[in-house]
Structure 1
Amino acid sequence: MKDKLKPQPWHVLVACLLASVAFAANAAPLPEVVASGLERPWAVAFLPDGRFLVTERPGRMRVIDGGKVGAPLAGVPAVAAGGQGGLLDVVADSAFARNRTVYFCFSEPATGGLTNSTALASAQLSEDESRLENLKILFSQKPKVASRSHFGCRIVEARDGTLFLTLGDRFSRKEDAQTLDNHHGKVVRIGKDGSVPKDNPFVGKPGALPEIWSYGHRNSQGATLAPDGVLWMTEHGPQGGDEINIPQAGRNYGWPVITYGENYGGGKIGDGITAKEGMEQPLHYWVPSIAASGMVFLTSDRYGAAWKGNLFVGSLKFGYLDRIELKDGKVVAEHKLLDAGGRVRDVRQGPDGLLYVLTDESNGQLIRLLPE
């Protein structure tokens, strides 16, 4: 006959409980491949009934249903594919179930194709999900330049229904990020019909483009709403100095005057300073650069209480997902998750409360992260 279990001292039980909580907080999620065979996928949006809408940088948009990758949708406009350019972000309208509207951004070629810029469009997904209909260009970055780099191009729908769009400095025009007569190195805010909100910070200011929300950015390829509805973004530094910023109306985020990075190959940028009066400091920065990409706050409890409210950021350079703990508005810990075997381009929280990741590869994957 087996001995009965002996009662354990209270301090032993508490220690066991704390150990189980610590394991849950630091456990790695289990990756499950939802779909593969995608060519340089850039963004994923969620459709009703568990389907996905994915963009591929060469200029294709596809519906994924049950792991099956659909044919390219008709109606996608021509894109300036090459370098960092192509078909980039996509989001479904908050009322998609009613209006079937999606918003997407892309590198828009000029007539003749010698120059390009970032553009934001809206369209309706057809009932048979074979094409985009009623295409409308809502915004086009000015001026167009001859460049294959720094398009930015993350879209966020704010709670008031306006749209934020991040815009890169186009690499060769970094000084433009400090002036308001262009859209290079800016975050812009527009209405869903392409109109300019009356409360944008530079409306009516001589010499300033009214769409501008914030400026002094380099190249933001990640943006999301925090649980309180505030916009957050990641942006690429040069060699070092990737940043997390919370872009506020009318504020100057310093590029290229202040940076925690340096020129490629070494050497200071500008005066080589990291702070200046009138310019905002990043919430967080990385040296060396991780090539920060998509980002999302986890608002579900699918991975336990310790992960809820954490920020997740993809790394293109190192191919991992960064779980970031925050306290009192500051980064207090980082945890590397998901050795994806490729560049992590996008991360989103799905309607099921789980995290989904895209790998930016020639055989890219859509991956679902399952709780341990």
Structure 2
Amino acid sequence: MDQWWLWLVVAVAVVVIALGIVLAVRARSHGQVESAPEKPQVEPETSPPEAVAEPTPATPEIETPEPTAGRLVRLRERLARSKNSLGKGLLTLLSSDKLTDEEWEEIEDTLLAADVGVTDTTEIVDRLRERVKVLGSRTSSQVRALLQEELTTALGVEADRNLNTVTEDGPATVMVVGVNGAGKTTTCGKIARVLIADGNTVVMGAADTFRAAAADQLETWGTRVGAKVVRSHEGADPASVAFDAVKTAKDDQADVVLVDTAGRLQNKVGLMDELGKVKRVVEKHGPVCETLLVLDATTGQNGLQQAKVFTEVCDVTGVILTKLDGTAKGGIVIAVQRQLGVPVKLIGLGEGPDDLAPFEVESFVDALISVDEQ
């Protein structure tokens, strides 16, 4: 009897345990079904948007350079702002009715300080002093008029300062030379504006292949005025670039081709070889009409020593003085012409694109010694 009861208890216990397991499994399955995430709704398919055509880049507007006539008139104002020592000093000294030996020495020192040069200063002062002595009684305005005549004579009014851009056949070739740092490439771009302002069509050759930025810089200038720029990769043969530029100018029937040459060569032999090669290759198309030397006016007498190297290795036909508005030494113009024997043809009056002006002796001298009368 006792044994039967024991088996009954065990059987009941087994049934309870089995029932519990079944209920637990069902509960777990039910919970997983309830917690399962809903499937995301699929958006109805739509047709892709139509492709929008990108706008065509606008053609850059071509600038019209300022006419060259009358540009030099602005020089008076620029020299006034630069506090030109030559004009101020001489006008102060010449305001005296009686000039003593000490005052004549001060006039001489003023001319020297203005970078006129020793030889030219001595000649100018000696001639001026002799004329004042012969004149006798005189006013400061009379003396100033005499000084103006002497400076004009020193600069030479008879020199041909026009850019030679007329040829019988094909474009006129203009080579631009000078040491780097004088603003040579920028000046080349400004020369293009001068020529275009005077009615010429221009092609520029980026033959300064030693500087990576030179060709980009030149192309920027050309784009602004519609001048085509012929260029090549950095380190390319400069003579080859110059040759292609002249050929392009001939094909396009352009009036002038400007060739911007490298200026980093300080060795005379190397410079002679490089520029000589460029010139020989260019002349296969026709003669070089102008070789323009770019000089920084602020370098004064030191710059003249570098300039002499260029005049010795190539036939320089004209000088362009840059940064003349930023120096109080306007007498450098006299020194350049007298020592190099080459006329100044263009002068840079500032950083603006049209601040390069044809050089006019009378206007320059008038501005130089009349600056305090603004």
Task: Flag the structure with larger Rg.
Answer: 2
Flag the structure with more relative contact order, 1 or 2, with Cα contacts below 8 A and sequence separation at least 6: 2
TM-score when normalising by structure 2: 0.23
Higher helix proportion: 2
Higher strand proportion: 1
TM-score when normalising by structure 1: 0.23
